[in-house]
Each structure stands twice: as structure tokens, then as C-alpha cells.
Amino acid sequence: MSEPRATRVLVIGYVWPEPRSSAAGGHMMQILETFLQQGWDITFSSPAGSGEHRADLTALGIREVPIELNNSSFDTFVRELAPDVVLFDRFMMEEQFGWRVEKHCPQALRVLETSDLQSLRDARHQRLKARLKASDDANDFTDLFAPALREEFEFMADTNLAKREIAAIYRCDLNLMISEVEIELLVEQFNLPRSLLHWCPLMVDLPNQLPVPFEDRAHFLHIGNFRHAPNWDAVLWLKTVIWPMIREHLPGAQLHIYGAYTPPKATALHNAGQGFHVMNWAEDALQVMSAARVSLAPLRFGAGIKGKIVDAMLCGTPTVTTPTGAEAMHGSQAWPGAVCRTAREFADNAVRLHTDKSDWQQAQRQAQALLASRYQQSTHGPALIEKLLYCQRHLAQIRRDNFTGSMLRHHQHKSTQYMAQWIEAKNRVPEKVI
């Protein structure tokens, strides 16, 4: 008797994963590794170009297949592949390819990896822009941080981005959510069924060696992909307000800023005389994080949870951040560093952790406890597999219960299908020669 074939998974990526450039890339790799541990057969496809720091998926035994937007060649590809599970990496991929998957592989489980709620991040970005325009106070942003869920809903509800993103969530059979706060926002304010959402945070293996001690570290560090708008805004706030405050107390302090895809506008901020060093991309983020004494993450807007902060915890490096940076990351656990609402509070806590060995060591211990309680791959990996298998077994009932999703698929997919077919037909027609 032949053995049953391995579960076939198709991942449709917004980009090719870059785990050393972004938390989203790291989370995708953690999901892929979880699937590989099950012996699942994985194909990763994307319409994006190849990034500078992309992972080598083929070395892991994952097939890489480029695909095109608005091209019926995908129909043949997905029909022949016949996947059991299709994972859309961010809602834009569900918009583009969801109707094609449903048409040609109707029994495939459709899963959305949200990464974070982009509509939430965008709404917070617009609030920050309005606040900066209305006031020249660059110190106190308390009114922006951690508003009530109802306030978040009010800012998001009328935006096209929220309507598109939440419609895509409804159309899928399961949605992977990295943030518990975003789960509560969707359930309590947007009235999504909790059964459609699965908490899947960053998943890491706990370090098996002691972190670098206080005496062997030096300087401050900030790290983050410059293509991610919250990171660029954080660098600007550091440069113009926070770092000068830190240097008032520590005149010899040095700040090393690392980030993938460093633009000229960031390089222009480099000033060795001020101890402000823009270092470009870090080949090994954990290595530079382990050498730093304190990590700075002054995020004035954003969503999801922060890979740079999990990396800091893995290295035993205390982090000073804002309520946005700490959101959904520590539950009832103590924060391994400091959470601050003003630039002055941020600078004071950064100086304290840089100079006070006892406080620094306590923050390091809190980081180790937090990792063990919330981020272990050995907990979240099996939970993800169990949830996917449950959804496969009960797929018909899940879809029957999700009438709103069925209705949205009926209308959205028709309009998307016709638009895609129109674009494809237009692309085939040669331009008229004049």
C-alpha cells in the first residue's frame, strides 16, 4: 500500500523572503521552516523581482516559481500544481490571485499571512503627519500612543485600505495574525469571527549560550529596514531630538544605525562628530546587536510586533521603545528595558540603562523570561500545524459559517477577474503604429 502524498503548499509572496532585512521576511521563513518540519511539499512563487538579500529557498528544498500579475499562465500553473494549502503573503496577493485559486483549486485551504494590519499602520501614520503639521512640539507624543480600540476603529473605518484588507481577511479560510491587539481590534470593533483568526507571532528557538555581559558591550544601536516607513521616521526623531538629549548626559556616546536599502537621505545624516553613525546593512544583525549595550526603537507609528526587538531579546540587549514599539509584545510580562512616551523620557531611560549595570542586568533577565513565555517555536509551530489541519478537516463547515466571506468572494472576485482579464487582453494588443 502506497504512502499518502505529502501536503502540497503554495505560498504566493508579495516579495521573495529576506529574513535578514525585515521582520516580515523572518516570520515568513519561520512559517516555511514549520511546514518543512512536517515534511510538506512547498512551492514559493512571487511576481516581485529578486531582492538584494533574498533567502535561498531552493537550498531548503523549496521550489521557486516566478509568476506574473494579470496573466492566465498562473491558471495553468496552479491547476497543475493542485495545492492543498495556499498561503497568501499579505492581502494584496489575495486580491490578485485569490479568485484564480478559487476557480482552479476550489478545495485548497486559503490562508492569509497578514504580517501586520497595514490599514492600522497607515491610519497611525496619517495621525502622526497631522500631529506634526499641527504642532512643533517634537518631544511629547503621548496622545498618539496606544489609543483605545474604538479610537483606532474610528480612524480606520472609512479608509479604502481598511476595506480592502478586511475584505481579504473575510475571503480567506484562516488568517495568521502576529499581534493579539490586532486580533482584538478586528473582533471587537470590526466584528470579524474570532474563528477566522489565528495568533502566530514571531517564532524563535531560545539561545543556548549566555549573552555577552555588560562590560564587553559598548554604544547604542538602532536597526531597521529603511524601506519600512516607521523605521525612517524613528531615525529622524533620533537624529533631531532624542540623540542630542542623550549626548547631553553622555558626550562621548556613539549610536550605530543599521538598515537594509539605506537611501542617500539616510546616509546624509551620518555625523561622526556627533556620534551618529549610519552603517548601512548589517550582514549579521544578531552579531551587531550582541555588541551593543542598548537598543533604541523610538517608533512613533506602526503595527504588528517588532522583529528588531525580538532580536534584541535573543541577544540579551535591553530595548528602549515607545508604546507602539512594545504593543502586543509582552502581555503581562515586564518589559526588558523601558517604554517611553516622550523624547525626554526616552533619552533619560536610554542613559540609565547604558550606565546602570544592575538595571541593565535586570532588563536582560526579563528578556529571557519574555522569550520563553511568548515566542518559542516549539509552542507556536505545532499550534499552527494543528490549526491548519483542523481547518482542512472542517473546510466545508468553515466556509458555510463564513457567509460574509462567501458573499465578498462572489462580488470581489468577479470584479477583480474582469479587470485582470481586461489588463491581460490589453497587454496582448500591440500598440497602433502611427
271 and 307 in a single domain? The answer is yes
Give the number of other CB atoms < 10 A from CB of residue 371.
Answer: 21
Query: What average pLDDT does the segment 217-235 reach?
Result: 97
Quick one: 287 and 368 in the same domain? yes
Residue 434 banded pLDDT, cuts 50, 70, 90: very low
CATH number of the CATH domain containing 320: 3.40.50.2000
What are 48-101's pLDDT values in tens digits?
A: 998 888 999 999 999 999 999 999 999 999 999 999 999 999 999 999 999 999
What is the grid cell recorded at 75? Answer: 491558471
Confidence of residue 233 (pLDDT cuts 50, 70, 90): very high
Q: Nearest-CA neighbor of 282 among 301, 308, 264?
A: 308
What confidence score (pLDDT) does residue 412 get?
Answer: 64
Residue 162, classified by CB atoms within 10 Å of its CB into exposed (0-12), middle (13-18) or buried (19+), is buried
223 with 347, same domain: the answer is yes
- Nearest Cα to Cα of residue 35 among 355, 397, 384, 419: 384
The H-assigned helical ranges of 280-356 are 285-291, 307-314, 323-326, 343-355
Task: Return the SS3 of 211.
Answer: coil
The stretch 344-365 carries a mean pLDDT of 98
Average pLDDT, the chain: 94
Examine the domain organization and report whether 60 and 158 are in the same domain.
Answer: yes
Quickly state the pLDDT bin for 280 (edges 50, 70, 90): confident
Q: Is residue 258 part of a domain?
A: yes
**Structural domain boundaries enclosing 364:** 214-375
Report the percentage of the chain scoring pLDDT > 70: 95
Closest C-alpha to 399, from 97, 109, 95, 10: 109
Q: Please choose, from the candidates 232, 228, 238, the residue with its C-alpha nearest in 3D space to the C-alpha of residue 274.
A: 238
Please write the tens of the pLDDT for every residue from 132-161.
Answer: 999 999 999 999 997 899 999 999 999 999
CA 59 to chain centre: 24
Q: Are residue 238 and residue 297 in the same domain, yes or no?
A: yes
**133 part of a folded domain:** no
For 357-398, what is each residue's pLDDT tens digit? 999 999 999 999 999 999 999 999 999 999 999 999 999 999
Contacts by 417-421, CB closer than 8 A, 24 or more apart: 417/99, 417/100, 417/103, 420/69, 420/70, 420/96, 420/99, 421/72
Name beta bridge partners: 240: none
